[in-house]
Chains A and B, each alone.
Chain A
Amino acid sequence: MKKHLMAYPYALWMLIFTMIPLALILFYSVFAIDDAGIHFTLDNFKRVFEPLYLAVFWRSIKLAAESTIICLVLGYPMAMILAGKNLSKKSILVVLFVIPMWMNFLARTYAWMTLLEKNGLIATIAGFFGIDLPSLLYTEGAVVLGMVYNFLPFMVLPIYSVLVKIDKTVVEAAEDLGANPITVFRRVIFPLSIPGVSSGITMVFMPALTTFVISRLLGGAHFTLIGNLIEQQFLTTMDWGFGSALSIVLMLMIMLSMGVTMRYEKENEGGGLW
């Protein structure tokens, strides 16, 4: 059988589950359907750029960026430890790190609710030591925590997979030439790991930007994110046109951020997403 024949099922899959839905969203966003029939309109997009909705976009971007930075700061050292050459039980560590990801995302988020609540585990332990904690659940911090917790592996794994592939002789050469560890990291290891970092950033930033479950459960729906807004348009208000316009703008933003990170990705470095 020829190779391109094998690709047809995938092409069909893409058509049914990616292209057609995208086309539908685009259709709903620019066409209004009423008694007079179907007509072209940009009202939905005008509405997206009202201050009220821009504020929601801004909050989503801010929280997603915060989570991404925290994931990077926590994740990079973690990836280095995992990739470290003097670690004998490396694969076990990697497995331990990945195991929580096997559990359902919702279940993990619910677990944080019980940990953070007023009579929850953390507050109870703190109370035992005489510390009176302020309310942890239903705060902006809880939302960021939920994002970091859920998306951290997506930062660590791409960086890890790039780091383990770095040619050790390059590092040794730098050391032989008198570079101290900081210089080695700054001038050799980090530049070589950029593809992993940039795909890590993309893989954390995108789901953090679009999530609506974390902000509902851990934020107590106090912090409307763009995902919540879209969900509300489709399920409660039935304003599919506006919901679609929001989705299109969100998609454009994601593509823009992907374009930015892609510039830093070199080809065939292994950690890349695409």
Chain B
Amino acid sequence: MKKSLKAILALTLAISVVLSMTGCGGEQRTQLKVYNWGDYIDQSVITEFEKRYNIDVIYDEFATNEEMYAKIKAGASDYDILIPSEYTIKRMIDEDMLHKIDLNNIPNYKYIDDKFKNLAFDPSNEYSVPYTWGTVGILYNKTMVKEPVNSWKILWDEKYSKQILMMDSLRDSIGITLKMLGYSLNTKDDKELNDAKEALMKQKPLVLAYVGDEVKDKMIGGEAALAVVWSGDAMYMKRENPDLEYVVPKEGSNMWFDSVVIPKTSQHKKEAELFINFLCEPEIAYKIANYIGYSTPNTEAVKMLPEEVRNDKTAYPPDEELARCEVFEDLADSLVKYDRIWTEVKAQ
């Protein structure tokens, strides 16, 4: 017994020596820790950044804003770059979790379209730089839906009973319902929220399922006629199945942003800003947009995209359509009301 214990001790010692040696080796190259959505970058871009600036990038992925937020809030991580959505950024700004970004270090910021600057969640562009943007809308299968689709009301049409896919996300599903009713999707008014709840309960028997990422498989495979989706996913699905078409209903919708931020946990703010500047380089932004299919806020990158993508209203809707869209705001304490509605609808 004693002998084996000694052996184990020796082994642990040896391993820790080896580990500490590699640790020393890493110190010459700075490490930049990036935390982004799953499948949301062209990996070759990362390699290019590492080569050009002699910096190691450690790249991790998350599936929801909430998951990312919970991890950062817990405090055990040391990420340098995060790419959350706007309402989470607002929350992080309010909770003093983000570094201010020095735009002097980001000369390529000039390529970002002005209409994506000075947005409500970060009014003076101090904390975030837009990475992608898009809308929420209805994706429908032209072989199953013969009538024109232009209103959220079609999701309440009994003709399409059990052919409708909703998002399993309380902000999005309640948000579009509020829009259908003509309310703001950031409302905190009890009566308006109650109307939305009743509408969602009425809709429930017609809904085939409340889904997450599976929506892509289901719509491409023709399992449902109508689905509520993000524009970026719609681009992908349309490419895979030409019968699909995407529309932002006339009542308006949600417009969203995923922007790059630097959390206070970062020890490498300089390198993080270097990385953000790199992402704003037209050539790089083009590569990313081309790969992930989501819309880029980079004016020069848009010009490089193939014409059919650039002119696709799904990814690059006309301004008057965007004018009808609202951006999510952080609901703070009212989120509980939304949660309750969502539970009531789904527990029915």
**Which A residues are within 8 Å of any B CB, using their own CB?**
1, 52-53, 55-56, 59, 113, 117-119, 135, 137-138, 216-217, 219-222, 224, 228-229, 232-239
Contact = CB atoms under 8 A, between A and B. Distances in A.
A237 B2 CA distance: 52
Contact of B223 (A55, A118, A233): A118
Interface of B: 1-2, 5, 64, 66-67, 69-70, 162, 168, 170, 204, 207-212, 214, 218, 221-223, 335-336, 339-340, 342-344, 346-347
B336 A237 contact: yes
Nearest to A5: B1
Given A220-B208, A237-B339, 6 more contacts: A53-B343, A53-B347, A119-B221, A216-B168, A222-B210, A239-B339
Nearest to A138: B209
A217 B170 contact: no
11 contacts: A1-B1, A52-B344, A119-B221, A135-B162, A137-B209, A216-B168, A217-B214, A220-B207, A221-B168, A222-B210, A235-B66
Contacts of B208: 135, 138, 220
A2 B70 CA distance: 43
A247 B39 CA distance: 33
B1 A117 contact: no
Nearest to A55: B347
Contacts of A238: 66, 69-70, 335
Contacts of B70: 234-235, 238
Contacts of B66: 235-236, 238
Contacts of A220: 207-211
A224 B168 CA distance: 11
B223 A229 contact: no
Nearest to B64: A235
B221 A224 contact: no
Contact of A119 (B222, B342, B344): B222
Contacts of A217: 214
Nearest to A110: B214
A221 B221 contact: no
B223 A224 contact: no
A134 to B, nearest CB: 9
Contacts of A53: 343, 347
Given A113-B214, A119-B223, A222-B209, A236 B347 contact: no
